[in-house]
Amino acid sequence: MRGAPAGPRILLRRLREIMAEPISAQARLDKTVTQIAANMVAEVCSVYVLHADGVLELYATEGLKHEAVHRASLRIGQGLVGTIAAQARTLNLPDAQSHPAFRYLPETGEEIYSAFMGVPILRAGATLGVLVVQNRARRTYDEEEVEALQTTAMVLAELIAVGELSGLSRPGTLDLKRPISLTGVGLGEGVGLGHAVLHEPRVVVTALIGEDAAHEAARLDDAIASLRLFVDDMLSRDDIAETGEHRDVLEAYRMFAYDRGWVRRMHEAVRNGLSAEAAVEKVQSDMRARLQRQIDPVLRDRLHDFEDLTNRLLRVLMNKPHGPGDEELPKDAIIVARNMGAAELLDYGRARIRGLVLEEGGPTTHATIVARAIGIPTVGRAGNVVSLVDNGDAIIVDGEMGEVHLRPNADVEAAYAEKVRFRARRQEQYRLVRDEPAVTRDSVRISLLMNAGLLVDLPHLDESGAEGIGLFRTELQFMIAAKLPKLAEQKALYTAVLDAAGNRPVTFRTLDIGGDKVLPYLRTVSEEENPAMGWRAIRLGLDRPGLLRTQLRALMRASAGRELRVMLPMVTEVDEVLQTRAMIDRELAYMRRHGHVEPASLMLGAMIEVPAMLWQLDRLLTVVDFVSVGSNDLLQFMTASDRGNMRVAGRFEPLSRPFLRALRQIVRACGPAMPVTLCGELAGDPLAAMTLIGLGYRSLSMSPAAIGPVKAMILALDAGRIACFVTDLVDGNDGADNLRPAIAAYAQREGVPH
């Protein structure tokens, strides 16, 4: 007759005594499994530890053959133990051998046991191993037993995490520090090697065991109360938009903060002997394991909200400040965050940032926009990187391939270091031709301009050798600000830009906000179903003239006595240009009346990015001073594929007949008299830029980093020959949808770098 389980509290107390004994790590582990087996009335208790190479090795056992310790092993995903590790979830089986994943390890002698319960050993979201109990008789372990084993697994996680077990087996680090590679989405060009800095450092709980359950329960209640107060307070503030958080996210926080099931589970863990903070962490791990298996992105998002909230609760309990850590930033910081605001990124200071990894961020996330602007290699949608990395871990960000390598092994690191050196050498070559004009071999002059949008972009003007700014995206100032920038702030930015440019031309694009570029402080319209085609850009500007007028005024004041070029985004009808022209004229008259110095000259241009423009170019060209092709939007609308949707964004090749024919139509319509620039991403791709020159484009605006490679291409190009080649190709009809291979082959033949 077996006695009833002695309860998790007693078990935890015993384990604590074992942890404090001055014995070897192996002895500590052996005693632990014996204790668990006795306490849970199990005939077997075993610990498997996950190695760097994905092998789960038996580290200690009570009940299985002792010779199997450090010999028996399984791969992650293999057998019951491997399944638990791979899925980070508990298995509780009355008859293990009938489970499809069961795999018999002869060296252990486990064939005689039927009942099986295994729990993952988790720490901060990472699986470190598996803890198993087994019994001969068929039985299902009850909830209290599952709870007890999970709690014990936390204690073991701590033992593994402090590195105590690392000497027990063959060399090789344990799971915590194993190299991990993640594939996300490349968002900011380049490669960065450095050390991780967690934007919101995780709180690591070390005091696991609660001495006094009533005291711990009271601490937990106090902390929950203060957390709820914080969430309520945030929601009741009028200026919640100013925090950059969206209301629905905050509402989700509130829902979690008041979730009774969550609070009950934490109290249960405290009753079982955990400290308040360990209870929070335990419930967080359980929830994470459950939600991580969700493929529904909405539910996975909720996991993030929940994690944020529990981290906050942990900070309250442990008296740690909120917000980024104030530890000194390493010289080669790679910032790792779930998500962050653009201003927060700038707070780190450009000089020390080598890369950025975001768990959530996509191409239009504000932090990404800024990172790209200041040339930080960036990867977004990088799995659950925040829980996999520790402050100070070595990390490589490959913004080109969209890869992140955590704690890379020496080979990977060497390969990347070489890549960085190679890039640096190439950059050096570009620097050598920086001050040379971009002229083809047959003496055709191409104007290379850069795209910009923030003050931090301005040093690139000199560094890249750009001839000016072909597209200044004025909305970026609005997007990173906490509230609507005032006239004086707008004027100050535009003045700084013009000062930095000196006598190089700058084309300011008026606000391209609305749609998906939401300004949290500007509550405009209710949710739109198709924001990219919604109430945005010049549409919003004309409907809300106060906003556009203020901007035009700021631009005119900043350009007092200088040349001003203003460009309108998303023009769909010629009348939109005329209305804006009338607004400008009124402003000019106002300036004159009030004795302000006017711009020396004012040019008004339109972006061609809505396909409808292609069939009214004749009329448009009579009312504008210049045009600029926004190939990003033009391609999006011509191919009906959302540029922000990763599934379709790269699906259609811009180097295709329909798109190139459209681009040729524009440049031909402009002829020699109308200045035309192309300022979408296409201009910065050397092969595409070569094609554009073949179509007749002579002015291209691109990200500053692209200017070197594009100039190198131009210096080796014969404009006459490429024009013939492109004309034949575009007029051809060979059935190829993608012309890139043919164009690349041409560049190869002609020795044009691309």
Which entry of Mg ion, ligand PEP, none binds 679, CB below 5 to 8 A by partner kind? ligand PEP
Select 486 or 661, whichever has its Cβ closest to ligand PEP: 661
**Footprint of ligand PEP on 630-659 (CB under 6 A):** 630-633
> Interface with ligand PEP by CB under 6 A: which range of 56-64, 160-168, 265-273, 627-635?
627-635
Choice between 49 and 471, CB closer to ligand PEP? 471
Stretch that binds ligand PEP, among 30-38, 84-92, 405-413, 629-637 (CB under 6 A): 629-637
In whole angstroms, the minimum distance from the beta carbon of 471 to ligand PEP comes to 6
Q: Which residue lies nearer to ligand PEP by CB, 149 or 532?
A: 532
> Contact at 8 Å (CB) between 563 and 532?
no
Sheet holding 55-62, edge to edge: 73-75, 55-62, 44-50, 126-135, 115-123, 91-93
Closest approach of Cβ 703 to Mg ion, in Å?
14
Q: Which residue, 121 or 570, has its beta carbon nearer to Mg ion?
A: 570
- CB nearer ligand PEP, residue 169 or residue 632: 632
Q: How far is the CB of 680 from Mg ion (least distance, A)?
A: 7
Asked if residue 630 binds Mg ion (CB under 5 A), the reply is yes
- Residue 75, judged by CB atoms within 10 A of its CB (0-12, 13-18, 19+), counts as middle
CA torsion sign for 116, 117, 122, 125 is positive
- Site pattern 446..485 for ligand PEP (x: CB under 6 A): -------------------------x-x------------
Look-up of token digits 């301009």: 449
Nearest-angstrom CA–CA distance, 103 and 109: 12
| The binder of ligand PEP chosen from 158, 277, 609, 685 (CB under 6 A) | 609
Q: Which residues are catalytic?
A: 366, 679
Stretch of residues binding ligand PEP (CB under 6 A), selected from 149-157, 485-493, 626-634, 720-728: 626-634
The interface partner of residue 680, options being Mg ion, ligand PEP, none and the CB cut-off 5 to 8 Å by kind, is ligand PEP
Q: How far is the CB of 568 from ligand PEP (least distance, A)?
A: 12
Partner that binds at residue 191, options ligand PEP, Mg ion, none, CB closer than 5 to 8 Å by kind: none
Distance CA 552, CA 589 (A): 13
Q: Annotate each residue in 555-594 with x if it binds ligand PEP (CB under 6 A) or - if it does not, as one string.
A: ----------------------------------------
471 binds, among ligand PEP, Mg ion, none (CB under 5 to 8 A by kind): ligand PEP
What is the edge-to-edge ordering of all strands in the sheet holding 333-337?
A: 180-183, 403-406, 394-398, 191-198, 333-337, 353-358, 378-380, 185-188
CB of 89 to ligand PEP, least distance (A): 43
Helix (H/G/I), strand (E/B), else coil: 3: coil
Nearest-angstrom CA–CA distance, 158 and 160: 5
Given the complex with ligand PEP, which of 408 and 453 has the nearer CB atom?
Answer: 453
**Subset of 583-612 contacting Mg ion (CB under 5 A):** 609
Closest Cα partner for 635 from 657, 609, 616?
Answer: 609
Whether the Cβ atoms of residue 638 and residue 659 lie closer than 8 Å to each other: yes
* Least distance (Å) between residue 340 CB and ligand PEP: 21
d(CA 355, CA 379) in angstroms, rounded, equals 8
H-state helical runs in 336-398: 342-347, 366-373, 385-388
Do the beta carbons of residue 609 and residue 633 sit within 8 Å? Answer: yes
**Residue 188, burial from CB neighbour count under 10 angstroms (0-12, 13-18, 19+):** buried
Nearer to Mg ion, 184 or 605 (CB): 605
**End-to-end CA distance of the chain, in Å?**
79
How many Å is the maximal CA-CA distance in the chain?
Answer: 102
Between residue 662 and residue 701, which ones bind ligand PEP under the rule CB under 6 A? 679-680
Residue ranges in contact with Mg ion by CB under 5 A:
609, 630, 633
Residue ranges in contact with ligand PEP by CB under 6 A:
471, 473, 512, 609, 630-633, 679-680
